[in-house]
Every structure is written in C-alpha cells, then in structure tokens.
Amino acid sequence: MTDNGLVITTEEDFAEVEVDCLKECHDCTARNLCIGNKQNTGRLSVKNPLHAMPGDEVKIQIPDENYSQALILLFGGLLVAILLGTGGGYLLAVVFSLRSSLASFIGLSTGLAIGGYVLSRIFRRKNKKQLYPVIIDIIKKGDCHGSA
Amino acid sequence: MELVAIFISAVLIQNFVLYYFLGICPFLGVSKKIDSAVSMGLAVTFVMTITAVVSWLINNLILIPHDLGYLQIVSFILVIASLVQLVEMFIRKISPPLYQALGIYLPLITTNCAIMGLALIAALNEYSFVETVIFGFGSGIGFTLAIVLMAGIREQLDLADVPESLKGAGIALIVAGIMALAFNGFIGMLT
C-alpha cells in the first residue's frame, strides 16, 4: 500500500511524515478513534533512504503484508511458549506429585517470559528490515532545500 | 481425556462465534483476507488464553475465598482492560513500527465481548487451572477457525455474482448463519 505525506522532521535515517487519512481508513468505522483523528492526518516514523527534508511532499510504501506475518509470528510464538510452559509444568507436577495448578502457572509464566525475550530479540532485527514504512519518492521539494 | 474433550468442545461445539454469537464485530470486520484473519485469530487466542489464566487466579484466589463473587464482572473488565494495555505496551516496546501500524486495531480486536464471555463461562464451569488454560486456548482456536473459514468464503464471494442488495454485510451475515447451522452438527459429538 502506498500513501502520500508531508515530511515534518528528519533524524538520521528516519523521518516523521504526516500522512493524509490513509486510503484504507475511509472504510474503517474506527477512523475517528485512530491515527486519522481530528485533522484526518496521522504521523508515522518512516525510513528515509532518499534523504527527504522537512517540508517535502513524499510518497511512502507501507509494508502492510509484513504486518500480518509479524503478528502471526508474535502471537503464535507467545502462544507456543505459554502452552509449552503450561504443559511442562503440568508434566512435572504429575511426575513429582506437586500441585498441578501451581506448577502449571509457574511453567506458563516461565514460558511467557522466555518467549517474550526470544521474540524481542527476533523483532529487534526484523523491525528495521521489514516493518518500517519507506519513502519511495519525493513528489515535491519543500522550502528547506538549499537553505542550509 | 477430559482435557481433550474440553478442547474439542471449545473449538467445535461451543464455538464462541458460531454457538454463543460473541465476537461478531471482529468476525465480520476483519474476515476479508485470510492472512489478516489468521493474525487476528492468533491475537485473540493469545489474549483469551491469558485472560482465562488471570481471571482464574483472581476468581479462585481472591473472589471466592472472600465471598466476593458479585465483583466478578467488574474485576474481569479490569483484568481484560489491563491485559490489553500490557499487550499494547509489549508490542510498542519490541516493535514500534508494528505498534504504529496497528493503531486502534489491536485494542478493538482484543477487547471484544468474546473475551469477557470466556472469563465468565470459565468461572461458571468451575474448571481447574489447566482446564482453564485449555478452555481459553481452545476457544481462541475456535474463534480463529471460524474467522479463517469466513475469510476463505468471503475471498471466493468476491468472485461470485452476488445480488447487489446483498453485497457486503448482507451476504456475510447469511454465510455466518449457514456456518452456525453447520457447526450445530457437532452438537452431540461428545456426550
């Protein structure tokens, strides 16, 4: 999905872009609560490989197909972690004659903590490569060019 | 065996969407594409499982011992609201672009009435801790199954010659009704 926006600020390889109300938002009943709020605009952090400057009007590519995969990885991973933890705790309780609810709860909490840690490591790499929107074109140069 | 029965019952027989008719808003709203339906289903499954666990702890360690059963609904609402906030904070921490992309989407999908229904039904059934986890997980998988089936059908419906007056919500509700009838066939599977 692509959308147009205005560069507000830049910092290193990223820019803050104010986008018009996203095209997808027009069909969404939650748009009044969401990023397309009062002024029908939203601010996004986007990768800035073209070195756009504040005031530039840009076209951005939003990797929406990657978001579904990332959500599946995130919640699927957490679910697997908590189920393995609960199952492990339950088995230990059966083997060592412990209270099954306590052992399962400890197993679940441990699984959740380990799963959360592993996923945070995975996402640290994934964020920069796949999940940030990218500026793919500078439609109109702003006033900032040549002033520095 | 008991755990397997609880799981199958939660997925197929007492399906939250097609038996209890809970969580219809995300069921109809986010069932246009299969991959978004899967990710939504997994998000709901995760929140359902964790909600089942935390509400079990609150119900069995605080409410029942202190004879505070009348606070069940209020405390479950607080539990669900807090959990969704925690999930949001977790996503914001580990993946800011994903958080930015989701916007209001995550609270909307994970705070549906199916989550509240799950907490209340689990308390009503007086499940043990492990049974509660399996019930929460099974209910989430049932929700995912229903929404993915619906998404598959709706993707095919885009290519079908649907009468103009039934396009959109109309045909979606008819399909949901037929699916609910089909799932009724599972009643009696476990006795």
Of the segments A124-133, B43-52, B83-92, which one has the largest average pLDDT value? Answer: B43-52
Q: Return d(Cα B109, Cα B40) in angstroms, integer.
A: 7
Q: How many domains does chain A have?
A: 2
Of the segments A40-54, A90-104, B131-145, which one has the largest average pLDDT value? Answer: B131-145
* A136: CATH: 2.40.50
What pLDDT is stored for residue A147 in this prediction? 46
Same domain (yes/no): A123, A71 = yes
What pLDDT is stored for residue A148 in this prediction? 42
Same domain (yes/no): A42, A74 = no
pLDDT at B10 over 60: yes
What pLDDT is stored for residue B94 in this prediction? 86
Same domain (yes/no): A12, A26 = yes
Scanning the structure block, which residue is given the tokens 């599977």?
B189
For A132, B183, B187, the CA distances from A67, given in Å and listed in that order, are: 10, 31, 37
Same domain (yes/no): A78, A93 = yes
pLDDT tens, B68-90? 989 999 999 998 888 888 888 88
Is the Cβ pair A127, B96 closer than 8 Å? yes
Cβ neighbours of residue B66 closer than 8 Å, sequence gap 6 or more:
none
Same domain (yes/no): A81, A31 = no
Same domain (yes/no): A18, A54 = yes
Same domain (yes/no): A57, A73 = no
Same domain (yes/no): A58, A72 = no
Same domain (yes/no): A56, A77 = no
pLDDT tens, A29-75? 555 555 544 455 577 788 888 888 888 888 888 777 788 888 889 99
Which B-chain residues 30-49 have CB contacts (< 8 A) with chain A? 33, 35-36, 38-40, 42-43, 45-46, 49
Same domain (yes/no): A59, A70 = no
What was the ipTM of the complex prediction?
A: 0.85
Range of the domain at A33: 2-63+132-145
Give B98's contacts in chain A (Cβ within 8 Å). 67, 70-71, 74, 123, 127, 131
Same domain (yes/no): A59, A92 = no
CB B84 within 8 A of CB B106: yes
Could you give the percent of chain A with pLDDT greater than 90? 21
The alpha helices in chain B, defined as continuous H runs, are 2-8, 24-29, 34-58, 72-94, 96-102, 105-110, 113-125, 129-157, 169-184
Task: Tell me the average pLDDT of chain A.
Answer: 80
